Structure 1
Amino acid sequence: MTARRTVLLTGFQPFGGEQVNPSWQAVSALQGARIAGHRVVARELPVAFGTSLKALRAALKEMQPALVICVGQAGGRAQLSLERVAINVDDARIPDNRDQQPVDMPVIGDGPAAYFTTLPIKAMREALHTAGFPAEISQTAGTYVCNHVFYGLMHALRRQRAVRAGFIHIPYSPAQASAHPGAPSLAVETVTQALREVVRVALATRDDARIAAGAEH
């Protein structure tokens, strides 16, 4: 079945003692938006191993989207982090919202070691810079629920090559950062605007830009 002209954006519920999660705040603001002829649908995922993937798979089956971008909070990061790779490891530093704390467990038991994003992340980064948004290519999505969802997303779409998908981490919101002295932040409204640009570029770009965006460490 061919993908519909739908873009699926997901954010997360609050976790780790936070009262809000800017990923859901930013994503939900785009619910129903039209971008490049596609309709945006936003879904909130639980911060829970296993359950998050069940919710994501249900959304994929329902929407049959042409593009999927999952968004999560990464407190301490200063820019939008366009994630390059998801690894097949759950190794939780803190319990999830269901008090689960897997250590050195695979996301998918018989899955490959890693999946790469199919988003044009370098073209997206360049477009974000041109528009004045802080953005970077990230080489790790961690080993918590964000990576769990990213890996599960790519595994679910592994045979649907026409459907582009990936993950973006965003900083704390200013309200959150006030409780974390010295932590960088980015306004939720700014993140929403940046995500709109990301979706536009992802839908318009067939071949990613070949420009250096690696890391030394």
Structure 2
Amino acid sequence: MTRVLLTGFAPFDGEAVNPSWQAVRAAAAEPPAGVEAFAVELPCVYGASFAVLRAAIEDTRPEIVVCAGQAGGRPDITVERVAINVDDARIPDAAGAEPIDEPVVPGGPAAYFSTLPVKACVAAVRAAGLPASVSQTAGTFVCNHVFYGLAHLIATELPGIRGGFVHVPYAPEQVTGRSQPSLPVAEAARALREIVATAARTRTDLRAAGGATH
């Protein structure tokens, strides 16, 4: 059995729900064959979110960590390629913090690449009939904060773990009355199961186009 830790976020910015946590919880409840999955909810707070993640890693001792977050406005499942060492908040986090141009880890590298097979994960989600793409940015809010913190932890302390980040669209109930793309939580959970299964069996990523022009 491959031990996998899945994380999602609590609601933020006035939303009643966060589809990342809803999808993670559902995916972990029915994991792919050969996977033992654990689900943990992270607060949408700089600093505290990574502290909860680190404690969850210590508690569950996973081989793979897949963190998920909400990307309102994106139409598909986006598997993140890179985390950058900057916190730059356009809106306050759930504790009211708004860091501007601060490093996630002082003195850390400018960026880390995901250690998940990003393109293979995208291909698996698409093969399951769901929309997915490679993302070149996880933003500079708490999602990127957690992604960079995880990558730095893997690079400096836990090289035996592989991990990365996935963004999911709004849930349908979040976009009632406004023109924004959405994806049912059950479908987002199905995509996460495909990503987990692919990460568990894949060490060498696909060599396939997944770039962007802007």
Letter in 2 for 1:184: P
Letter in 2 for 1:21: N
SS in 2 for 1:11: strand
Q: Which residue does 1:170 correspond to in 2?
A: 168
Q: How does 1:150-189 map to 2 (within 5 A)?
A: 150-159=147-156, 160-179=158-177, 181-189=178-186
Q: How does 1:62-211 map to 2 (within 5 A)?
A: 62-159=59-156, 160-179=158-177, 181-211=178-208
Q: Displacement, 1:163?
A: 1.5
CA distance in 1, matches of 2:124, 2:54: 30
CA displacement 1:101-157 (0-9 Å, x = unmatched): 000000001211001000101111111111111000000000000000000011111
SS in 2 for 1:157: helix
CA distance in 2, matches of 1:48, 1:102: 11
SS in 2 for 1:137: strand
CA displacement 1:36-72 (0-9 Å, x = unmatched): 4221100000000000011011011111101100000
Q: How does 1:35-74 map to 2 (within 5 A)?
A: 35-74=32-71
CA distance in 2, matches of 1:107, 1:37: 34
Stretch of structure 1 that moved more, 84-93 or 160-169: 160-169
Q: Which of residues 2, 7, 16 in structure 2 aligns to 1:10?
A: 7
Q: Displacement, 1:5?
A: 3.3
Gaps of 5+ in 2: none
CA distance in 2, matches of 1:80, 1:56: 22
CA distance in 2, matches of 1:107, 1:100: 14
Letter in 2 for 1:171: P
Please say if residues 32 and 39 of structure 1, whose CA atoms lie closer than 8 Å, have aligned partners that are also in contact.
Answer: no
RMSD (CA atoms): 1.2
Question: Structure 1 residues 81, 118: closer, same or farther in 2, change over 3 A?
Answer: same
- Give the alignment's TM-score, normalised by structure 2: 0.96
CA distance in 2, matches of 1:19, 1:61: 30
SS in 2 for 1:166: strand
Gaps of 5+ in 1: none
Aligned length, in residue pairs: 213
Please say if residues 88 and 108 of structure 1, whose CA atoms lie closer than 8 Å, have aligned partners that are also in contact.
Answer: yes
Please say if residues 121 and 198 of structure 2, whose CA atoms lie closer than 8 Å, have aligned partners that are also in contact.
Answer: yes
Please say if residues 7 and 68 of structure 2, whose CA atoms lie closer than 8 Å, have aligned partners that are also in contact.
Answer: yes
CA distance in 2, matches of 1:70, 1:43: 9
SS in 2 for 1:127: helix
CA distance in 1, matches of 2:62, 2:33: 14
SS in 2 for 1:136: strand
